[in-house]
Amino acid sequence: QVQLVQSGAEMKKPGASVKVSCKTSGYTFTNYYIHWVRQAPGQGLEWVGWINSNRGNTTSAQKFQGRVTMTRDTSISTAYMELHSLKSDDTAVYYCARDHLGSAEYWGQGTLLIVSS
């Protein structure tokens, strides 16, 4: 069955960087794109960006451009999202999700990031 398993919770100080992983299984990794979505406490869903799992090209939301790096390792079917220059309002649950005809059919379990001094 399709699974997306994310790395564990992180606590970082402002200005630091964090790298979240999303290990996939149950399907051919390079056949589906991966999106990253975040959700601040008590708030709605916010799209962070997308990676073409096959070619490795990426697109991010304008507010994250220059601050987010998305990569993948096809040998281990894993996608990564690295967020730099962390601020307190980056505190959120970060999800990876597999693209399905433009929507998100499968989601990772989420990774809680707390940014605090």
Partner 1 sequence: EIVLTQSPATLSVSPGERATLSCRASQSVGRHLAWYQQKPGQTPRLLIYGVSTRATGVPARFSASGSGTEFTLNISGLQSEDFAVYYCQQYNNWPTWTFGQGTKVEIK
Stretch that binds partner 1, among 8-16, 19-27, 43-51, 75-83 (CB under 8 A): 43-51
> Judged by CB under 8 A, does residue 91 bind partner 1?
no
Using the rule CB under 8 A, which residue among 16, 45, 74, 116 binds partner 1?
45
In the bound state with partner 1, the residue whose beta carbon lies nearer, of 86 and 96, is 96
Q: What are phi and psi of 24, to 5 degrees?
A: -110, 155
Q: Which stretch binds partner 1 (CB under 8 A): 10-18, 20-28, 64-72, 103-111?
A: 103-111
Strand bridging mode 58-60 / 45-51:
antiparallel
Question: How far, in Å, CA of 46 to CA of 50, rounded?
Answer: 12
3-state secondary structure of 54: coil
